[in-house]
Amino acid sequence: MEPYWYNLGMAAAAYVEGIESLYNENEWKDLVSLLITKQTGSVPNKDSITNPSSEIRLEALSIRLRQLHAQKAEQLPFVSWEDGKGKSYRLLEDSDLVEHFGVAIGLIAASHWWTVDEIETDHSTSPRSR
């Protein structure tokens, strides 16, 4: 169970703009709708999808972060975070390192969800298209 919570925490941290940005995605709304339908046995209305119960919101967030964590991992070499004092931090502070190896590092980080066919593909020239 520990790797599961680790993945969720790392995925949440990758959302510099805040995980609230997930709530506007169609995939989020579809997932919330599915979970409400599963729980209640009826099709939810727009308001219950927009304002789900805390139980549904937490379950949807857990599922959605798990779905997206490898994709977000690919972007981590290029992301920066700000502390409360306005200082910016990156996982790799050396900009030359990021420039030369950022794509490769991101692909390696994302690769743990790839199929065998994807792993065998040459990813040396550009990042995967999303």
Is 128 inside a domain boundary?
no
Is 53 inside a domain boundary?
yes
Q: Which two tokens stand for residue 121?
A: 């593909």
Is 129 inside a domain boundary?
no
Q: What is the largest CA-CA distance in the chain?
A: 54
Is 90 inside a domain boundary?
yes
**Measured between alpha carbons, how far is 101 from 118 in angstroms, rounded to an integer?**
20
Is 110 inside a domain boundary?
yes
Q: The pTM is what?
A: 0.66
| Helix, strand or coil, per DSSP, at residue 78 | helix
Which residues neighbour 109 within 8 Å (Cβ) at sequence distance 6 or greater? 70, 73, 74, 76, 77
Counted domains in the chain: 1
What's the domain range around 32?
2-120
Is 35 inside a domain boundary?
yes
Residue 125 has pLDDT above 80, yes or no: no
**pLDDT tens track for 38-49:** 999 999 999 999
